[in-house]
């Protein structure tokens, strides 16, 4: 490929939502995953497991309550790389409104949505695949991707104009989630034994990046043969997911099993991304996750990605590099890292492997 030439999708884009309407009892071959990637029935002991639910209101309590809450978050980061937060300060009506506004968007006529069709250059807009490998096996989902920060990348023209309230709701939602991310960054810094602003500063201070990917998983007549989103870790810093409370689908890898997250009412699901794995010198890991689909209900989720400033080197915090724990990763900017991911699409944690320092 010639460097800097604009990228195109390798094949015509087919909207999964349209396929879902015409596929009655089978799905096209290109959505059928190899056996090893498919979701299988899990054992009963794992069936009951759930990603920990943490009450962030307790961070305003007495010193013992604060210490216990920090401890719960620390344990969840080590054990799961995932946790759910309640009492997080984001208005519940705003959360519902954000999800339902996007649901309405996905139910607009296809001609309207096609006006926002995206390309693999920036992925902004309405999309139906990740990665540009010709002949790749695809995921059973459509999505909408947009930049919220930095302001230089925020472009209302690339945000939906309809439903009419869309932009205001997204703006307000983004503002509230930024506050929550800031708070969680402090918690993670403290838990890593760093000064509380350390991670935020390493991310570039005020000048960080944030984007939203809204995932739409249509009903699927053969849910056992495919996945809504293939296994991946999130490339950025930290993700706040607003799941569909009515429809489970997110699965998190734990001890070689896949645990289906049971969302708590009005909780956000928080997870560590690859950049925090690097900054923490792998004390925290970005854990693989994937999404399963089902035959009776569509599912909508909003993933808010809180990312480092894209052109500064990200490397293990010097306080976390010790003679007995050398730096596990070499420095890379998020721009460089993201470029790499965008070419390949979701593929477990293989991107992280490629970052490892030669030893």
Please give the residue ranges that form the binding site for Ni ion (CB under 5 A): 234
Dist CA 174 CA 159 (whole Å): 13
Q: If contact means CB under 5 to 8 A according to the sort of partner, which of Ni ion, ligand OGA, none does residue 291 touch?
A: ligand OGA
Please state, in angstroms and rounded to a whole number, the distance separating the CA atoms of residues 309 and 199.
12
Footprint (CB under 6 A) of ligand OGA, residues 295-354: 301, 303
Taking the complex as a whole, the smallest distance from the CB of residue 25 to Ni ion amounts, in Å, to: 30
DSSP class per residue in 290-341:
EE---SS--EEEEEEEEE--TTSEE---GGG-BTTB---B--EEHHHHHHHH
Cβ 215 to ligand OGA, closest distance in Å?
Answer: 4
Among 99, 147, 213, 309, binds ligand OGA (CB under 6 A): 213
259 strand-pairing partners: 252
Q: CA triplet 53, 81, 287: central angle to 5 degrees?
A: 135
Tokens standing for residue 232? 């991946």
Distance, CA of 337 to CA of 315 (rounded, Å): 12
**Residues with Cβ within 8 Å of residue 60, at least 6 apart in sequence:** none
Assess 131 for contact with ligand OGA (CB under 6 A). Answer: no
Tell me whether residue 106 or residue 305 sits nearer to Ni ion (CB atom).
305
Interaction of residue 234 with ligand OGA, rule CB under 6 A? yes
Burial environment of residue 252 by CB neighbours within 10 A (0 to 12, 13 to 18, 19 or more)? buried
Identity of the residue, 81 or 249, whose beta carbon is nearer to ligand OGA in the bound complex = 249
Min CB(8)–ligand OGA separation in Å: 23
Q: Please choose which of ligand OGA, Ni ion, none residue 249 contacts, taking the beta carbon within 5 to 8 angstroms, the exact cut-off set by kind.
A: ligand OGA
Which of 70/137 has CB closer to ligand OGA? 137
The site partner of 263 among ligand OGA, Ni ion, none (C-beta below 5 to 8 Å per kind) is none
Distance, in Å, from the CA atom of 253 to the CA atom of 188, rounded to the nearest integer, reads 21
- Return the residue of 16, 56, 229, 270 that touches ligand OGA, per CB under 6 A: 229
Contact partner at residue 212 from ligand OGA, Ni ion, none, CB < 5 to 8 Å by partner kind:
none
Cα–Cα distance for residue pair 333/207, rounded to 1 Å:
14
Max CA separation in the chain (angstroms): 60
Name which of 59 and 76 has its Cβ closer to ligand OGA.
76
# chain residues binding ligand OGA, by CB under 6 A: 12
Tell me whether residue 56 or residue 303 sits nearer to ligand OGA (CB atom): 303
Which residues are registered as beta bridge partners of 210? 149, 306
User: Minimum Å distance from CB 40 to ligand OGA?
Assistant: 19
CA angle, residues 330, 212, 303, in degrees to nearest 5: 85
- β-partners of residue 85 are 54, 268
At closest approach, how far in Å is the CB of 319 from ligand OGA? 29
Site for ligand OGA in 241-300 (CB under 6 A): 241, 243, 249-250, 289, 291
> How far from 303 is each of 6, 12, 99, 243, 276, CA to CA, in Å?
26, 26, 11, 8, 17
Tokens of 92: 């519940």
Question: Which residue number, 203 or 304, has a Cβ lying nearer to ligand OGA?
Answer: 304
52 conformational bin, left if phi > 0, alpha if psi -120 to 50, beta if neither: beta
Which does residue 188 bind out of Ni ion, ligand OGA, none, counting CB within 5 to 8 angstroms by kind?
none
- Give the residue with the Cβ less far from ligand OGA, 331 or 340: 340
Residue 234 or 244: the one with the smaller Cβ distance to Ni ion is 234
- Closest separation in Å from C-beta 234 to Ni ion: 4
Distance CA 147, CA 243 (A): 20
**Site residues (vs ligand OGA, CB under 6 A):** 213, 215, 229, 234, 241, 243, 249-250, 289, 291, 301, 303
């Amino acid at each position: 490929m010639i460097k800097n030439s604009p990228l195109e999708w390798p094949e015509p884009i087919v909207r999964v939502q349209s396929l879902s309407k015409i596929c009655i009892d089978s799905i096209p071959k290109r959505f059928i995953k190899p056996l090893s990637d498919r979701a299988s029935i899990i054992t009963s002991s794992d069936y009951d497991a759930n990603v920990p639910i943490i009450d962030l209101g307790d961070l305003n309590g007495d010193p013992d309550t604060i210490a216990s809450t920090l401890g719960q978050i620390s344990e969840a980061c080590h054990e799961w790389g995932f946790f759910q937060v309640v009492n997080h300060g984001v208005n519940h009506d705003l959360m519902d409104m954000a999800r339902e506004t996007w649901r309405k968007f996905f139910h607009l006529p296809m001609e309207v949505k096609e006006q926002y069709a995206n390309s693999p250059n920036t992925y902004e807009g309405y999309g139906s695949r990740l990665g540009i490998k010709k002949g790749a096996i695809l995921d059973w989902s459509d999505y909408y991707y947009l930049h919220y920060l930095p302001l230089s990348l925020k472009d209302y023209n690339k945000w939906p104009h309809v439903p009419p309230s869309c932009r205001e709701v997204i703006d307000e939602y983004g503002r509230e989630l930024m506050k929550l991310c800031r708070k969680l960054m402090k918690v993670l810094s403290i838990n890593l034994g760093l000064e509380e602003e350390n991670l935020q500063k390493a991310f570039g201070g005020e000048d960080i990046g944030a984007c939203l990917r809204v995932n739409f998983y249509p009903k699927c007549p053969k849910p056992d043969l495919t996945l809504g989103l293939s296994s991946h870790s999130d490339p950025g810093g930290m993700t706040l997911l607003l799941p569909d409370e009515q429809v489970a689908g997110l699965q998190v890898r734990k001890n070689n099993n896949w645990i289906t997250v049971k969302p708590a009412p009005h909780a956000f699901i928080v997870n560590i991304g690859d950049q925090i794995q690097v900054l923490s010198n792998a004390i925290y890991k970005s854990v693989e996750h994937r999404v399963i689909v089902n035959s009776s209900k569509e599912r909508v989720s909003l993933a808010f990605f809180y990312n480092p400033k894209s052109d500064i080197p990200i490397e293990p915090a010097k306080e976390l590099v010790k003679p007995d724990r050398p730096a596990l990763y070499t420095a890379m900017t998020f721009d460089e890292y993201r470029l790499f991911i965008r070419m390949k699409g979701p593929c477990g944690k293989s991107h992280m492997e490629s970052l490892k320092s030669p030893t």
